[in-house]
């Protein structure tokens, strides 16, 4: 994936996405002892950056593929993103979701026009159901994070950030499945001015950190983190990009995530989900690395369950 592909991707998806704002806070800058620029993908359509990759992936399909529809397995933001992108492009979307997924998420997917197929809450059941839909309808499978066209789409958020602030020293994102991190790393490499890419990751699901250490894709035995969007693992399409272009992964505790989330809510006056706060948590944790630098932070999404806020636990 190269610079030209990123440019073409951005032009292609512009009619289907919002160009999200960049916010700053003098108080947060003081806490971090650095200049922070928050790219607010919580204001993106359907509330997260994933709209970018979903739209691009569908637009790159052939007419025949579009006619047969698309399928993915997701209980989170990509389920909504693929449904909304497909609806806008006149394509049928089949979304495999675990039967344990919150009803509000299932309803959101249906509200965006997606057809929900429920399965048992494990990866084997998700994959089996997806393959059955592919066989029955001829639908094309689109992976939430391990797909070249999805990765390119996710990278456009960083492209826009660097257009607005071209001299960033670092761009920091959360890492879960690796699509946002890989796309951001490509954009920082091609469009930044010696801009480095850093990821934040919860200690409780630190498979990406361990994968960079070992040189192979690692998994997690448990996923006890408030950052529910980061429970997935890297894939064979995004991991080589991450290996090549990501400078470091900073691990953070659950308390550090909650603290950073509260800072964003209180000081930026915006709604962000726990996964989004992981990037700020990483910057605040490793102050010596970032002191005096210009740092872009991708606020990845704002789809939070308002009935389960962690601040007053």
At a CB cut-off of 8 Å and minimum separation 6, what does 224 contact? 204
Residues in the chain: 313
| Cβ 272 vs Cβ 265: under 8 Å | yes
The pLDDT score that the predictor gives to residue 313 is 57
Residue 222 CB burial class (10 angstroms; 0-12, 13-18, ≥19): exposed
Selection from 186, 197, 192 nearest residue 167 by Cα? 192
CATH 3.40.50.1100 is right for the domain spanning 3-47+147-308? yes
Q: Which residues contact 117 (CB under 8 A, 6 or more apart)?
A: 94, 95, 96, 97, 129, 133
Picking from 173, 179, 154, 177, the residue whose alpha carbon sits closest to that of residue 247 is 173
Per-residue pLDDT of the chain (313 residues; tens, 9 = 90+): 999 999 999 999 999 999 999 999 999 999 999 999 999 999 999 999 999 999 999 999 999 999 999 999 987 889 999 999 999 999 999 999 988 887 888 999 999 999 999 999 888 899 999 999 999 999 999 999 999 999 999 999 999 999 999 999 999 999 999 999 999 999 999 999 999 999 999 999 999 999 999 999 999 988 889 998 898 899 999 999 999 999 999 999 999 999 999 999 999 999 999 999 999 999 999 899 999 999 999 999 998 888 888 987 5
- Three-state secondary structure call for residue 145: coil
C-alpha torsion sign, points 151, 152, 157, 163: positive
Residue-range domain boundaries for the chain: 3-47+147-308, 51-141
Q: How far apart are CA 234 and CA 250, in angstroms?
A: 16
Structure tokens given for 106: 């299932």
Q: What 3-state DSSP class applies to 299?
A: strand
User: pTM of whole model > 0.85?
Assistant: yes
Instruction: Mention every residue, 6+ apart, whose C-beta is less than 8 A from residue 55.
Output: 13, 16, 17, 81, 85, 88, 89, 153
Helices (H), 192-292: 207-214, 239-245, 254-263, 274-285, 287-290
Phi, psi of 239 (to 5 degrees): -60, -45
Cα 258 from Cα 25, distance rounded (Å) = 18
Mean pLDDT of the chain, nearest integer:
95
269: which 2 tokens?
Answer: 């006056």
**Among 182, 175, 134, 135, CA closest to 156:** 182
Give, for 26, the enclosing helix (H) or strand (E).
Answer: helix 26-32
Which residue bears the tokens 């006619």? Answer: 67
Per-residue pLDDT tens over the stretch 212-243: 999 999 999 888 899 988 988 999 999 999 99
Catalytic positions, written as ranges? 50, 75
Give me the residues paired with residue 22 across strands: 39
Neighbours of 67 (CB within 10 A): 12
Quick one: angle between helices 274-285 and 254-263, nearest 10?
100
**Helix, strand, coil tally for the chain in percent (to 5):** 50, 15, 30
C-alpha 72 chain-centroid distance: 15
CATH topology of domain 51-141: Rossmann fold (3.40.50)
Question: At CA 4, angle to CA 159 and CA 81, rounded to 5?
Answer: 55
């Amino acid at each position: 994936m190269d610079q030209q592909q990123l440019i073409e991707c951005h032009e292609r998806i512009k009619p289907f996405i919002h160009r999200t704002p960049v916010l700053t806070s003098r108080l947060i800058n003081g806490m971090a002892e650095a200049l922070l620029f928050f790219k607010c993908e919580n204001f993106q359509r359907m509330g997260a950056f994933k709209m970018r990759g979903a739209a691009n992936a569908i637009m790159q399909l052939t007419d025949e593929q579009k006619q047969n529809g698309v399928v993915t397995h997701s209980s989170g933001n990509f389920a909504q993103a693929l449904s909304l992108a497909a609806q806008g492009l006149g394509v049928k979307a089949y979304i495999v979701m675990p039967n344990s997924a919150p009803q509000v998420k299932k309803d959101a997917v249906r509200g965006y026009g997606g057809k929900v197929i429920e399965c048992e809450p494990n990866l084997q059941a998700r994959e089996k159901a997806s393959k059955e839909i592919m066989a029955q309808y001829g639908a094309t499978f689109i992976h939430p994070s391990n797909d070249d066209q999805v990765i390119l789409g996710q990278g456009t958020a960083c492209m826009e950030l660097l257009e607005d602030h071209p001299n960033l020293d670092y761009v920091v994102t959360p890492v879960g499945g690796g699509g946002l991190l890989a796309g951001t790393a490509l954009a920082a490499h091609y469009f930044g001015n010696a801009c480095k890419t850093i990821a934040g990751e919860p200690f409780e699901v630190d498979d990406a950190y361990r994968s960079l250490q070992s040189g192979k894709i690692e998994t997690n035995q448990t996923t006890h983190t408030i950052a529910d969007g980061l429970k997935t693992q890297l894939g064979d399409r995004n991991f080589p990009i991450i290996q090549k272009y990501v400078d470091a992964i900073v691990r953070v505790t659950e308390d550090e995530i909650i603290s950073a989330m509260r800072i964003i809510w209180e000081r930026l006056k915006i709604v962000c989900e726990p996964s989004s706060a992981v990037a700020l948590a990483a910057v605040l944790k490793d102050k010596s690395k970032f002191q005096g630098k210009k740092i872009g932070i991708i606020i990845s999404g704002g789809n939070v369950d308002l009935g389960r806020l962690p601040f007053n636990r």
